[in-house]
């Protein structure tokens, strides 16, 4: 399906890299490396050079911690979005927020996508997306409150729950006036899920793709990878790429990542195995 992400459109067979850019002092992977605005700006320049189509700018870490007000969140991201918009007009700018108030401010500053990692906690976020012509990412969290960790959450069928909730969210966005091609669903690995849940969602990702809504996966260096392999945060790239391969074969369209180059190579390889992308330059045996 064609994707329209704000002012940018992509073809049916495009797989897109969404590079994570944290304007936080405490996110789990980079631990504040891009907290300073200039460092975050340099990170955007780096991932653009690496070929990322999308940056996902976040002002609040997902894990529990100090409460960040909407005013503080806006202070972290709004002007930064405007600066990135001005420097890279062709870049898709996504903002990781669940708050409608923040969503409106970043759209005004030039954001194209609202990445609601908390599954519709603020019901007015879809209205903001519709009003600004932005795309929206509809995630599954099992109904947990933003910035809480999963605790003894159980599902009869985690994939069925992920499909039911994200599709319902997508239809709510559609009803609110968001364009069909601007709605993306995300099973949200680790969010409201234990490691067994995230592994099952990965194994059965094809069922989410079969809904017809484009699927985003956010696998990068997450705990389900770490727990599966016994790896600390800095050592999860190989496990992340293995999970990425499985999701790519199933047809996930957007990959929210820390490591753009490695993920792109992995997805390109799988995309070609799946017959969705020609090899770059094949001559072996064909001379």
Partner 1 sequence: MNAPVVPMALVPGVLALLPAHASLEDPVAPLRAACLAAVGRLGPRVRVVASGGSGGSGGRVGAALVAAVGAAVVESDETGVLVVGNGSARRTEKAPGHFDARAEDFDAALRTDLASADPALADELWADVAALGELAGRTLAEADLLYDDLPFGVQYWVAVWGTRDGC
Which of residues 17 and 57 has its CB atom nearest to partner 1 in the complex?
Answer: 17
Which of residues 230 and 278 has its CB atom nearest to partner 1 in the complex?
Answer: 278
Residue 286 lies near partner 1 (rule: CB under 8 A): yes
Which of residues 89 and 279 has its CB atom nearest to partner 1 in the complex?
Answer: 279
Provide the minimum distance between the beta carbon of 278 and partner 1 in the complex, in angstroms, as a whole number.
5
Provide the minimum distance between the beta carbon of 11 and partner 1 in the complex, in angstroms, as a whole number.
14
What 3-state class would DSSP assign to 204?
A: coil
C-alpha 273/C-alpha 270 separation (Å) is 5
Q: x/- string (CB under 8 A) for partner 1, residues 171-200?
A: ------------------------------
Which of residues 230 and 285 has its CB atom nearest to partner 1 in the complex?
Answer: 285
Give me the DSSP letters along 109-156. HT--EEEETTSSSSTTHHHHHHHHT-EEEEE--TTPPTT----S---S
Residue 287 lies near partner 1 (rule: CB under 8 A): yes
Residue 85 lies near partner 1 (rule: CB under 8 A): no
Residue 282 lies near partner 1 (rule: CB under 8 A): yes
Which of residues 66 and 282 has its CB atom nearest to partner 1 in the complex?
Answer: 282
What 3-state class would DSSP assign to 33?
A: coil
CA distances from 168 to 3, 44, 161, 177, 212 (A): 19, 33, 10, 14, 13
Residue 11 lies near partner 1 (rule: CB under 8 A): no
Residue 203 lies near partner 1 (rule: CB under 8 A): no
**CB contact at 8 A, 147 and 116:** no
Give me the DSSP letters along 61-125. -SSS-S---HHHHHHHHHHHHHHHHHH-TTSEEEEE---HHHHHHHHHHT--EEEETTSSSSTTH
- How many residues interact with partner 1 (rule CB under 8 A)? 10
The residue to which tokens 């990135």 are assigned: 84
Q: x/- string (CB under 8 A) for partner 1, residues 252-281?
A: -------------------------xxxxx
Nearest to 9 by CA among 82, 88, 90, 84: 90
Provide the minimum distance between the beta carbon of 270 and partner 1 in the complex, in angstroms, as a whole number.
16
List residues binding partner 1 (CB under 8 A). 277-283, 285-287
């Amino acid at each position: 399906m064609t994707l329209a992400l704000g002012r940018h459109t992509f073809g049916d067979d495009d797989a897109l890299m969404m590079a994570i850019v944290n304007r936080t002092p405490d996110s789990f992977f980079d631990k504040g490396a891009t907290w300073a605005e200039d460092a975050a700006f340099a990170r955007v320049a780096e991932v653009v050079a690496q070929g990322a189509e999308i940056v996902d700018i976040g002002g609040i870490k997902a894990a529990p911690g100090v409460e960040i007000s909407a005013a503080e969140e806006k202070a972290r991201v709004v002007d930064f979005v405007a600066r990135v918009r001005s420097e890279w007009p062709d870049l898709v700018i996504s903002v990781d927020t669940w708050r409608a108030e923040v969503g409106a401010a970043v759209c005004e500053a030039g954001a194209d996508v609202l990445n609601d990692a908390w599954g519709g906690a603020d019901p007015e976020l879809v209205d903001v997306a519709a009003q600004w012509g932005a795309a929206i990412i509809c995630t599954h969290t099992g109904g947990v409150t933003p910035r809480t960790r999963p605790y003894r959450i159980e599902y009869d069928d985690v994939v069925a729950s992920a499909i039911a909730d994200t599709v319902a969210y997508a239809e709510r966005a559609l009803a609110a006036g968001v364009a069909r091609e601007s709605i993306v669903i995300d099973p949200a690995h680790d969010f409201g899920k234990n490691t067994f849940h995230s592994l099952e969602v990965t194994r059965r990702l094809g069922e989410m793709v079969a809904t017809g809504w484009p699927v985003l996966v956010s696998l990068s260096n997450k705990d389900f990878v770490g727990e599966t392999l016994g790896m600390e945060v800095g050592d999860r790239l190989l496990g992340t790429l293995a999970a990425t391969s499985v999701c790519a074969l199933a047809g996930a369209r957007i990959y929210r990542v820390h490591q753009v180059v490695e993920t792109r190579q992995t997805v390109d390889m799988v995309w070609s195995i799946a017959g969705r992308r020609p090899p770059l330059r094949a001559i072996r045996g064909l001379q």
